[in-house]
Amino acid sequence: MKTFYLCTRICISLGVFFAMFSLSLYSILLVVAVAHLMLTAVMALFARHRVQYLSLAVVMGIFGFSFLVLMFFANDLELASPVKLGPEALIGLTATVFLQSIYPLSIPMPAYLQWPRMFLYAAPAFFLFVLYGLLLLLGFQPTRILTWQDFYGHLFSGDILLRLAFLGLSGYYIFNIFRLPRTLLHQPDIPRYIVAYCIALGVSSCIFMWLSVDYSPSLFEVWLFIMTLQNLYMCFRTLETLALSLPKPEMRAVEEEPAAAVAEDGQEEDFNEANRLRFERVEFWMQHHHDEWKDYTFGRDQLCAAVGLNRHLLLQSVRSQGYYNIHEYINTYRIAELQRMITRGEVRTLGACQDAGFGTVKTARSSFEKVTGGTLDDYLAKYK
């Protein structure tokens, strides 16, 4: 939800920015190209550790450099009169929807991107690209269609049939984009935001198809805007997912509880030191009141009352030490307690996980995987 709000703010900010400064298409393409090249650099860094992100980096790079090339034709694109079924737009449509139909699968199903299967999937597009390129080399002059009457007048010419082939193939790739959510839902570990992203990707592809059928400079700018926001959203959610999987801070025993006055005095001198002292107060309480937080009804409000801090200060102190929120911090203690109980033989079944403070087995499983990186079932089977 926070990521949605962030993307909404970015969308509004960019819209206001474009409206205030009346950016030309050249400037918009520059912003879009820089954004995609930035995403390329981030995904390439991730790909060094997880190969699943390699195709994302490659596709984002293709988009980024393509927008850089389009900058040289920005004036022509901005002043172009409405054209029906422009061959350049149709070729770009086919290439774009092909790339968009494969790269959302790279994170959950990297095996899908095996070279033989991907080449077979791209073979019809490659055939049309090569055929159209050969016709241009042989001196073929495309027909310029400004009205639909021109289209009907050349309906059965090779030029128009080839354009319709591009359009039909693009429709097939877009259809596969809309099929992705149904395919992904069969995978239990797929984040739901990828499913929503694929649906939005199909909608933006339909806008691009409309743009290719009946070109309009203003619609082209709208599509650039939507596509960039979608890819930024995917990048932000990827960053968020990786941040949640980072190693959690080690628990350190606090022998003496810092006084509240010491923490307040430290705030005037050093903001970070004040947060550290508050966190030590919270740690001291958590380490000496096991019975309280082992109750599954224990939560943020109870912890605030116990340590004498309001929600803002408690969250601030917890986040200063690397935890995402107070709920995650409490569950970290519960997971550590659950591991001790399993190793001591006090917990032998999933149902007994409630003794460590978890309300449901589902919560225990998800928290265990987030904190340790492994599965609760495997850990329990190891010591059973």
pLDDT in tens, the chain (384 residues): 444 445 555 554 555 444 444 568 888 889 899 999 988 888 888 777 666 677 778 888 999 999 999 988 888 888 777 777 778 888 889 999 888 887 655 544 444 445 677 778 888 889 988 988 888 888 777 777 767 676 666 666 767 888 889 999 999 999 988 887 777 666 655 667 777 888 888 889 999 999 888 888 888 888 998 889 888 887 777 777 666 666 666 666 666 666 665 545 445 556 677 888 888 888 888 888 888 888 888 888 988 888 888 888 888 888 888 787 888 889 888 888 888 888 888 888 877 777 888 888 888 888 888 787 788 888 888 877
Write the DSSP symbol of residue 246: S
Query: 87 to each of 27, 76, 161, 222, how far by Cα in Å?
Result: 25, 15, 11, 20
Partners of 248 in the beta sheet? none
pLDDT score of 277 = 83
Report the length, in residues, of the chain. 384
pLDDT recorded at residue 171 = 92
Residue 348 gets the label, from left (phi > 0), alpha (psi -120 to 50) or beta, of alpha
Phi-psi region of 22 (alpha: psi -120 to 50; beta: other; left: phi over 0): left
Cα 98 to Cα 176, 179, 278: the distances in Å are: 9, 14, 53
- Give me Rg for the CA atoms of the chain: 28
- Interatomic CA distance for residues 337 and 294, integer angstroms: 9
Contact yes or no for 334/293 (Cβ under 8 A): yes
Distances (CA, A) of 56 to 52, 252, 320: 8, 39, 32
pLDDT score for 65: 93
d(CA 121, CA 98) in angstroms, rounded, equals 9
pLDDT the model gives residue 139: 76
Question: What's the pLDDT score for residue 51?
Answer: 66
Instruction: Identify whether the C-beta of residue 31 lies closer than 8 Å to the C-beta of residue 224.
Output: no
Would you state the pLDDT for residue 105? Answer: 54
Residue 227 tokens, joined: 């596509």
**Amino acid in the structure at residue 245:** S
Confidence (pLDDT) at 68 = 92
Q: On the CB side of 149, how many CA atoms lie within 13 Å of its CA? A: 0
What is the rounded end-to-end Cα distance, in angstroms, of the chain? 39
Dist CA 275 CA 262 (whole Å): 11
Beta bridge partners of 84: 214
- Kindly report the number of other CB atoms within 10 A of residue 347's CB atom: 22
The predicted structure's pLDDT at residue 63 = 92
pTM for the whole structure: 0.62
pLDDT at 21: 47
- Token pair, residue 178, equals 């809309």
Q: How many CA atoms lie within 13 A of 371 on its CB side?
A: 25
